[in-house]
Each structure stands twice: as C-alpha cells, then as structure tokens.
Amino acid sequence: MKHFLKITAAVFLSISPLQAQTDTAASGENIISLPNSILQQIRRNPEQFVRNTINTLFRVSTNGIVTKETLETYHMSQIARSRSSSLQNAFIYDLDGNMQIDAVEITSLGAVLSTRDNAKLQTLLATADTNQDGTLSLEEIRANASRQANQTRLDVLIGALMAFDVNQDGRVTPGEIGLAIANLDKPGTTPAPQKPSMHNDTIEKPLPESSLCKYPAPTSGAEIVFISGYEGAAVSTVAVSGVDRETSVAVLNIEKGDTPLYIVTTAYDSIIWKIEGDVGRVEQIVAGYGHYGAGVTGLPKEKVHFLPNAACISKYFTKPDSGKALIAKANLSQRLGRDIDVLVTNYELTTVSVPSGGIRKTRNPTNRGTVIIHDGKRYVITTDGPKLLDDPASQAGGALEKNLLHSLYRFYPAGIMELDAKDVIASSKAENYEVLPQQAGLLQLARQGALKPTSDGYLMVVKPIKRFPPGLNGAHSVKFILGKGIKMPAGDPGHSEVILEENGKCVAGYSCR
C-alpha cells in the first residue's frame, strides 16, 4: 500500500487531463497532449514511469485493465480495509467484550498500558467520544472508524489513470500506457497548456478533471448553493441503495425569488433530497453519491445530475469553518469557474431553506429526556434517576410501539417521510421498502402483530416477516427470537442477534460471528 501511494503522489498528482485523438485504425497513430511536469518525469526515466504505472494498473485490477468502476471499487475496498483496521485497534481495549469501552476499562488500562499505548487510547477517547460521556459506545467506535477510513483519498488516481484512455473506450490497458509513451516524440505531441489556478496551491491540489466529472454549466446569473451533511433527519420509505441499506431524507425548501439557483449536494449516507417550495427557481441540482446512492424528488429529470463523490465532489463535511469545508469550496469553485455564493452544512439535515441557508430544527415529539445506553440496554434520565426503557413492565401491550416510536424520533427527529419510488430520480435504482429501516421497520412489524416483547426485552417474531429491517446496527440493534416454525426472514439483521426458539441457537447477527 505504501508503494502504491508513493506512485500516486509522485506520478499522478500532477497529471492534467490527457486530451487524446485517435486517427484511423490504418494509421494507428494517436496524437496526445501531456502537461510539462509529466513529460519531464517520463523523459527523465521512461522505463520507470511505465513500470510504476503498469504496476498500479495490476494493483487495482488483476488483469491490468481498469475502468472507472474498477477504480471506484478499489477505492471502496481500501476504505473498508482502513475501517476494519480502526475497529480492531479500538476493540483491543474492550476488556469485557460488550462492544463498548467504558470509564472503568479506561482507568484500569491506564495502569498497565505503555506510555505509547496509553496515548493511543486517550487519542481514541478524545476523537471518538462525541457525546463526551467518558464511554465509547459501539456506535461512536464505528462512526470514528468510518471517519478515519473516509480520509483515504484515491480520487486523484481515478482521473489520473483514466487520462491514459487513449482510444476513449472507457478502459485503460497496459498497452495504452506504452502507446502514450511511445508517441511522445512523434509530430503533433505537445505539452498541454497549463491553466492558472484560481486558488492558493497550498490549500490542496485541485481535483482531477476527467470525463467522469462533467458538471452542467451554471447560467451566468445563477446563484451557486453548496449543501453538505451526514444524513437527513427523516427516514425514507424509498431506498436508493438497495432495500438492505437505510435511506434518509432531507428537505430543501426553495424560497421565493427571481434568481436562478444552481445547487450542489453531498452527504455521507444514502439520502434523498426532497425539493419543495418555489421549485421553478432551481435550474440544476448536482447530487453527489459515494458508496451509497442518492436521489432527488420534486424536480423534472432534466434538472437532476449525479456525480460520484470520490472523483468529482469532495466528501461530506459538517462544519462550515472546517478545513474540509474550505477545501471542498475551493475544489467546487474551480470546477465551476465561479465563486460559491452560499455554503450550508450540518450533521443532520432537516429542512434547509435555500438560498438563505437556514436549517429548521425538529424536536422529538415524544421526547422524555436524555437517553443513555449501558450494557446493551437503553435508559432515560429522569428526576428520579435512570429508568430502563426496555423494562419488561414498559413493553406490555401498546407500550412496545410507544417505545419504538420514541426511539425512531430519537434517531430521526423528522420521523418517517412517505415517498413513492416512481417519483424519485436516483443515481442507481429507487425502490419502495417492504420493511422500513431500523426502528421504523420494527414499529411497522409490531403494528402488524409480528413482534411481541418477552419479559426481559427480547423481540419474539410470532408471525412470518419478509425481511429484517435494514440498518439494525450499533444502537439500532435488538435481540430477536424466531418463533417455532417461522422461516428465517430475508435481509441482513446487522448487529442484532437472531436466536431460534426451537433450539436456542444464535444463527445470525454480530454476536454470532
């Protein structure tokens, strides 16, 4: 991996778009144009340049032939490796194996760890304990691992390698690398003109231009609005990343006005942008999608454009004064050739007023106080002390539905957003959920009479269900007991346990692995 990154940094960061023109097949000649910086590297040691570049092709693809899709898959695999490594490094501090690191464990470890390992533990606590309660929950550990993994940047590689697609067939082969080098000294091969940078080069190298990243051109009078967040505040009834992945919804309320709006959006999780209000003002929305899909509803298809986050739009950010936000603005401004007029960002996106940038706060209508999780159980802090939300006495009858509804609003303050797949324009495929995600799905199944609580907080599946609710990970996870004669549902239970009533065996879920 180190060698690969060295190649990327030393060879590819300075590559500008390679403009290729293929003559007739009979002549077999290709007139190419490369920037001076690359010409100098090639002419200094052409064999090494070819060797390093072709080695990179085979690192990405076993047959040495890469496409935009294989490059993006490779990017995702590197992020997955990084995330897995971060999780493993965190759980070595989980002494009792309950998938969290509490204050007692941290104090105990402080007496036996080396200075270096103590520093690592304290660094993990400082960066991952987002609610600052002194305990690292599973959700916080996973979120921290995801943040670290998403810092892996291979987006430059995508544009750089695809620049060598001499015949423009969407693939780059070892032969094309050799062909590009062999043709350098032929007539018609000239250095590419270098465009002056609009921004200080010390901020960050600009994202690569490629055929992958063609933004629709904004009109001269349009206002540019850039919106970023982690997820929407409502759970969607429509999936845009498959029915085994949760999708959220953020509402963009277009304010009345005469100025056309050009909107660019990016988010970490699978998301649908619901456009409402004075929608006629929107001349274009460019929605970024990464490992998970994106969708738009409320606009005609010709006004919706999708671009991959990894290559074309900077990754999500949640603080407007952060370095990530400054870099993202600079990159987008360079791509559009225009300054960004409005920047809107927040971790959770409820209803965003566009273009003013105001974000409406949504209050949990079932709010009963602060909720904490300890030993896999949920407690609410009351004036009389902690109260167990999963107390069997509180699960009887309609109380289960009430508790699930409370949990739903805790995770998604805007509740459930009813949409129809036929109205959603998606980066891949929009489809209606049969079983809604997370606590919304559990509530749906409880109301159908498929789930019944046991006396100690398990959820008994007493009627056949088609699928597990997607996204039952971390704090969303529960413990299922599959009743006798009930077939295993489709889908992924995530971190939730699935135990068979007939023999007591744990057959699915995180703790069974």
| Residues 266 and 160 occupy one common structural domain | no
| Residues 260 and 401 occupy one common structural domain | no
Q: Is the pLDDT of residue 178 over 80?
A: no
Q: What is the C-alpha separation between 130 and 247, in angstroms, rounded?
A: 23
Q: Report percent pLDDT > 70 for the chain.
A: 73
Pick the more confident residue, 63 or 2.
63
| pLDDT attached to residue 462 | 95
| pLDDT attached to residue 266 | 94
Q: What is the C-alpha separation between 221 and 219, in angstroms, rounded?
A: 6
In a domain, 198, yes or no: no
The tokens for 498 are: 């699935």
Q: What is the C-alpha separation between 325 and 316, in angstroms, rounded?
A: 8
Q: What separation, in Å, do the N-terminal and C-terminal C-alpha atoms of the chain show?
A: 28
| Residues 230 and 324 occupy one common structural domain | yes
Contact between 466 and 475 (Cβ < 8 Å): no
| pLDDT attached to residue 513 | 59
Mean pLDDT of the chain: 78
| Residues 356 and 478 occupy one common structural domain | no
**Residues 192-217: pLDDT tens digits?**
333 333 333 322 334 444 445 789 99
| pLDDT attached to residue 468 | 95
| pLDDT attached to residue 23 | 28
In a domain, 429, yes or no: no
Please, is 183 exposed, middle or buried when counting C-beta atoms within 10 Å of its C-beta (0-12, 13-18, 19+)? middle
- Domain range for 268 is 215-360
CA atoms within 13 A on the CB side of 46: 11
Q: What is the C-alpha separation between 345 and 322, in angstroms, rounded?
A: 11
| pLDDT attached to residue 306 | 92
| Residues 93 and 234 occupy one common structural domain | no
Q: What residue has token string 């004036």?
A: 383
Q: How many distinct structural domains can be found in the chain?
A: 4
- Chain centre to alpha carbon of residue 194: 33
Q: Where does the pLDDT of residue 39 fall: very low under 50, low under 70, confident under 90, or very high at 90 and above? A: low
Q: What is the C-alpha separation between 33 and 470, in angstroms, rounded?
A: 49
| Residues 320 and 185 occupy one common structural domain | no
SS3 of 294, please? Answer: strand
Q: What is the C-alpha separation between 99 and 137, in angstroms, rounded?
A: 7
| Residues 220 and 179 occupy one common structural domain | no
| pLDDT attached to residue 457 | 86
In a domain, 426, yes or no: no
Name which of 35-49, 108-122, 478-492 the model is least confident about. Answer: 35-49
SS3 of 126, please? Answer: helix
| Residues 338 and 462 occupy one common structural domain | no
| Residues 232 and 355 occupy one common structural domain | yes
**Residues 142-153: pLDDT tens digits?**
888 788 777 655
In a domain, 201, yes or no: no
What's the whole-model pTM score? 0.57
Alpha-carbon separation of residue 17 from 1, 30, 169, 173, 212 (angstroms):
25, 15, 16, 17, 11
| pLDDT attached to residue 198 | 35
| Amino acid of residue 132 | Q
Q: What residue has token string 């609610």?
A: 131
| pLDDT attached to residue 152 | 59
407-428 mean pLDDT: 93
28-32 mean pLDDT: 41
In a domain, 199, yes or no: no
In a domain, 197, yes or no: no
| pLDDT attached to residue 31 | 40
| Residues 169 and 251 occupy one common structural domain | no
Q: Is the pLDDT of residue 264 over 90?
A: yes
In a domain, 141, yes or no: yes
Q: Is the pLDDT of residue 434 over 80?
A: yes
The tokens for 397 are: 């009858």
**Residues 313-369: pLDDT tens digits?**
877 889 988 888 888 888 898 889 899 999 999 999 999 999 999 998 766 555 544
Within 402-450, strands assigned E span 416-417, 425-426, 431-432
| Residues 56 and 185 occupy one common structural domain | yes
| pLDDT attached to residue 75 | 77
| pLDDT attached to residue 384 | 55
| pLDDT attached to residue 469 | 96
In a domain, 366, yes or no: no
294-323 mean pLDDT: 87
| Residues 36 and 120 occupy one common structural domain | yes
Pick the more confident residue, 87 or 21.
87
Please choose, from the candidates 104, 82, 81, the residue with its C-alpha nearest in 3D space to the C-alpha of residue 93.
104
